[in-house]
């Protein structure tokens, strides 16, 4: 696995964590001594010294070095140095204890053949109020007539690259790198304004913030707007940086809600193979990825309901990191899939594609949704690739009256997995809830029509949608 190493601190960190045999190091001049490079070569590491040196503070030089490292056609994992690091000089710790508390010195991103999408990254966490323009990324929130929930993130990033269907794999890789490598801002004050009241919080070490707002008066149906601002960061007009967050409040016409997984349920990602998942994300974008066949029409039918105008809310709960929020929302819109709040994972970069505690994360997010809508029943949709059936069965155990039906896309033909699913189907059915193992969206839609969840006339559109999708396979 190739690594582009720009500083001494990055070298020390990667050498301590990566097995030398088979690794490929592209080093800035002066980062390692001749003796150290000789020892690495004796241990089976291919060591190359950059010419010319790449200043980690200059994106153009880093990109050029990366292109040189990519000459063999491989994926290269890159160290991003701190703003004050000299590329050819060993980096030593000079910060005081107080400075160390304000700056996160190391964020590890290591890529191993097991598929951990990560790399060693030396980054400085920027403290709010130090000048410059920050970016606020508000995520889609949700709520009810008496309470709203909003989450977002503050980044030291000017803007994310806009992607297009004609983008090359190289362009897609750089855009993904930018999102995964964006600098979070810790300790930044954030204010929320709604119905004449203001609340304030501070971003955590990941740059995240969240608000639970109890409005002064009743909240209407549909999408609401909450104003957000950074009082300590000024825009070009001299005013605080401001954005608006959209918050969904289900209308009174809604008969049920939908909670859906994304990976291998809506969007093909091959999540059970982390390396293939990482390669798919690096090679494609929101314009070139495709949903599973018939998903768009099926989800539109569910939101419309049997009455055709129910406007049933849809929530997406996924183990994908919040870094991918923007591309996922863009994907939903481009594919005509109903957009709703996405509840993703807060992950350090070492764990982006090493999705541990998958079940605990999803179960916690579903519990959060159900707490806002205790009187609403839900349709749960997932796949058999990982833990969705087990997670949804646990939801039924805890909230048997809150789940109308579970649809599981069968993506794992392993007989042992099928046997385990049969046991779950029997267990769930004992509560009066159905767990349906569906080969495709048409099968699930036919069952939904028979259950009165969608209008029977919508079956034709799901079949048509599936036929159109048959003409092109998901991008890999």
pLDDT in tens, 412-427: 888 899 999 999 999 9
Class at the top of the CATH hierarchy for domain 256-470: alpha beta
pLDDT, position 57: 79
- The percent of residues in the chain predicted with pLDDT above 90, rounded, is 43
In 3D, which of 25, 122, 116, 26 has the Cα closest to residue 79? 122
CB contact burial 292-324 (16+ within 10 A = b; e otherwise):
bbbbbbbbbbbbbbbeeebbbbbbbbbbbbbbb
Over the stretch 40-53, which tens digit does the pLDDT of each residue have? 988 989 888 876 77
In 3D, which of 90, 72, 84, 101 has the Cα closest to residue 27? 90
Whether the pTM exceeds 0.85: the reply is: no
Q: Which CATH number fits domain 135-249: 3.90.550.10, 3.40.50.150, 2.60.40.10, 2.60.120.200?
A: 2.60.40.10
Which of 109-123, 219-233, 362-376, 436-450 is predicted with the least confidence, judged by mean pLDDT?
109-123
In 3D, which of 70, 68, 474 has the Cα closest to residue 284? 474
pLDDT, position 356: 46
pLDDT, position 376: 97
Is the pLDDT at 39 greater than 50? The verdict is: yes
The Cα 329–Cα 121 span in angstroms is 27
Is the pLDDT at 95 greater than 50? The verdict is: no
pLDDT, position 68: 59
Mean pLDDT in residue range 180-207: 88
Say if residues 270 and 277 touch (Cβ distance below 8 Å). yes
Over the stretch 4-36, which tens digit does the pLDDT of each residue have? 898 998 898 888 888 888 888 888 888 899 889
Over the stretch 268-320, which tens digit does the pLDDT of each residue have? 554 444 444 444 454 444 444 565 778 999 999 999 999 999 999 999 998 88
In a 3-state reduction of DSSP, which class is residue 312?
coil
Phi, psi of 287 (to 5 degrees): -80, -30
Instruction: Strands of 89-206 (E only): list them.
Output: 106-107, 121-122, 126-127, 135-138, 141-144, 147-155, 185-186, 189-194, 197-202
User: What are the structural domain ranges in the chain?
Assistant: 2-124, 135-249, 256-470
The Cα 422–Cα 119 span in angstroms is 40
Mean pLDDT in residue range 92-100: 36
Instruction: Strands of 266-387 (E only): list them.
Output: 314-321, 342-345, 377-383
How sure is the predictor about 327, in pLDDT bands with cuts at 50, 70 and 90? confident
pLDDT, position 181: 54
The Cα 168–Cα 65 span in angstroms is 19
The Cα 180–Cα 171 span in angstroms is 14
Over the stretch 366-409, which tens digit does the pLDDT of each residue have? 999 999 999 999 999 999 987 899 999 999 999 999 999 999 99
**Higher per-residue pLDDT: 10 or 133:** 10
pLDDT, position 174: 54
Give the chain's mean pLDDT.
77
């Amino acid at each position: 696995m190739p690594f582009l190493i720009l500083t001494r601190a990055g070298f020390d960190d990667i050498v301590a964590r990566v097995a030398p045999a088979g690794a490929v190091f592209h080093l800035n001049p002066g980062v390692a001594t001749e003796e150290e490079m000789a020892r690495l070569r004796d241990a089976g590491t291919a060591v190359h010294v950059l010419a010319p040196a790449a200043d980690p503070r200059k994106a153009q030089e880093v990109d050029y070095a990366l292109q040189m490292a990519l000459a063999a056609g491989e994926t290269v994992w890159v160290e991003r140095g701190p703003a004050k690091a000299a590329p050819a000089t060993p980096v030593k710790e000079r910060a005081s204890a107080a400075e160390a508390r304000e700056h996160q010195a190391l964020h590890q991103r290591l890529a191993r053949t097991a598929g951990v999408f990560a790399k060693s990254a030396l980054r400085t966490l920027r403290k709010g109020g130090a000048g410059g323009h920050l970016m606020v990324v508000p995520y889609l929130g949700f709520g009810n007539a008496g309470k709203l929930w909003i989450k977002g993130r503050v980044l030291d990033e000017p803007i994310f690259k806009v992607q297009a269907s004609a983008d090359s794999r190289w362009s897609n890789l750089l855009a993904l790198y930018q999102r995964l490598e964006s600098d979070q801002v810790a300790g930044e004050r954030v204010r929320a304004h709604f119905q004449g009241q203001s609340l304030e919080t501070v971003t955590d070490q990941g740059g995240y913030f969240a608000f639970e707002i109890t409005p002064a008066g009743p909240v209407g149906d549909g999408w609401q707007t909450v104003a957000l601002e950074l009082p300590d960061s000024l825009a070009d007009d001299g005013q605080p940086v401001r954005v608006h967050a959209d918050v969904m409040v289900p209308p009174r016409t809604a008969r049920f809600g939908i909670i859906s997984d994304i990976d291998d349920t809506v969007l093909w990602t091959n999540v059970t193979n982390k390396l293939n998942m990482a390669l798919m994300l690096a090679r494609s974008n929101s314009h070139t990825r495709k949903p599973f066949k018939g998903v768009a029409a099926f989800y539109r039918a569910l939101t419309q309901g049997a009455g055709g105008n129910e406007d049933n809310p849809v929530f997406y709960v996924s183990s994908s990191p919040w870094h991918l929020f923007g591309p996922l929302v863009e994907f939903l819109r481009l594919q005509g899939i109903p957009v709703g709040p996405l509840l993703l994972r807060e992950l350090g970069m070492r764990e982006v594609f090493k999705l541990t505690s998958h079940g605990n994360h999803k179960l916690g997010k579903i519990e959060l949704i159900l707490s806002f809508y205790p009187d609403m029943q839900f349709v749960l949709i997932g796949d058999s690739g990982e833990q969705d059936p087990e997670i949804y069965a646990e939801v039924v155990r805890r909230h048997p009256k809150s789940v109308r039906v579970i649809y599981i896309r069968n993506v794992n033909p392993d007989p042992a997995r099928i046997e385990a699913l049969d046991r779950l189907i029997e267990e769930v059915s004992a509560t009066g809830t159905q767990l349906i193992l569906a080969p495709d969206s048409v099968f699930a839609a036919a069952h939904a029509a028979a259950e009165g969840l969608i209008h029977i006339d919508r079956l034709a559109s799901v079949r048509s949608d599936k036929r159109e999708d048959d003409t092109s396979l998901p991008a890999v």
